[in-house]
């Protein structure tokens, strides 16, 4: 069983994917980390993010084992990820790795932007997890304050909201594998849901597909 979970920034898809994978004992891949990994290396080495050729070469040599989720969750890295993710050759370089992960015997859970549309169009269950931009910004803001990256101020909240809106626009407008709802995906709006409620709702969607 392949479970594809897509959605915009800070929609909670990563948390849900982790929980669903644990529930079924399936391997989980947070595909955002791949783009974050490429973006991070570009920043660390001082390459301009719009250099498609270098970004694609880095993507080609990316090793999942080297991706440090904690280090890649910064605001700057998310922004860089969204820039390099718009480069077609970068997406192409990361395609096989994701398809191999999805095709493991027994199945897998993947979360990202294009899992149900491009990476695993035949996935048995597809969820599109979303929430209002204000709620998503609030969640990301609390995460970044807890990490010590931002101060607990209204100005910093507004900066996160602006980041999220800019990133959604970039992810939705790009030509290659834009963020969109797969025709056969079920939309889960978590604006009014806590983590447990969202998990129960997500599980019910997957179970209905399994039945």
Region binding ligand CDP by CB under 6 A among candidate stretches 75-83, 146-154, 181-189, 200-208: 75-83
Nearer to ligand CDP (CB atom), residue 131 or residue 205: 131
**Is the distance from CB of 62 to CB of 34 less than 8 angstroms?**
yes
Identify the CA nearest to 28 among candidates 56, 61, 67. Answer: 67
Q: How far apart are CA 13 and CA 11, in angstroms?
A: 6
User: Residues 102 to 161: which contact ligand CDP by CB under 6 A?
Assistant: 112-114
Please, which residues have CB within 8 angstroms of residue 110's CB and are 6 or more apart in sequence?
2, 3, 4, 5, 17, 28, 29, 31, 98, 101, 102, 119, 120
Size of residue set near ligand CDP by CB under 6 A: 16
CB of 63 to ligand CDP, least distance (A): 17
Q: Is 20 helix (H, G, I), strand (E, B) or coil?
A: helix
Q: How far apart are CA 198 and CA 52, in angstroms?
A: 37
Region binding ligand CDP by CB under 6 A among candidate stretches 53-61, 80-88, 151-159, 191-199: 80-88
User: Residues 157 to 176: which contact ligand CDP by CB under 6 A?
Assistant: 167, 171
User: Residues 171 to 200: which contact ligand CDP by CB under 6 A?
Assistant: 171
Identify the CA nearest to 38 among candidates 2, 8, 82. Answer: 82
CB of 82 to ligand CDP, least distance (A): 3
Please, which residues have CB within 8 angstroms of residue 83's CB and are 6 or more apart in sequence?
39, 49, 50, 170
Binding mask 13-52 for ligand CDP (x = CB under 6 A): -x----------------xx--xx----------------
Nearer to ligand CDP (CB atom), residue 54 or residue 118: 118
CB of 211 to ligand CDP, least distance (A): 27
């Amino acid at each position: 069983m392949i479970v594809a979970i897509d959605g915009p920034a800070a929609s909670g898809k990563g948390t849900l994917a982790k929980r669903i994978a644990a529930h079924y004992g399936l391997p989980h891949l947070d595909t955002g980390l791949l783009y974050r990994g490429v973006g991070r290396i570009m920043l660390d080495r001082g390459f301009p993010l719009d250099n498609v050729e270098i970004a694609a070469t880095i993507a080609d040599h990316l090793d999942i084992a080297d991706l440090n989720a904690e280090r890649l969750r910064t605001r700057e890295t998310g922004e860089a990820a969204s820039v390099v993710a718009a480069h077609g050759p970068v997406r192409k370089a990361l395609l096989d790795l994701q398809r191999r992960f999805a095709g493991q015997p027994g199945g897998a859970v993947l979360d990202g932007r294009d899992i149900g549309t491009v990476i695993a169009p035949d996935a048995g269950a597809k969820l599109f997890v979303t929430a209002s931009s204000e709620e998503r910004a609030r969640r990301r803001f609390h995460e970044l304050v807890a990490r010590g990256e931002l101060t607990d101020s209204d100005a910093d909240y507004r900066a996160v909201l602006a980041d999220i809106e800019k990133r959604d626009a970039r992810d939705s407008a790009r030509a290659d594998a834009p963020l969109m709802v797969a025709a056969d995906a079920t939309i889960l709006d978590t604006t009014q849901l806590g983590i447990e409620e969202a998990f129960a709702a997500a599980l019910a969607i997957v179970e209905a597909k399994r039945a």
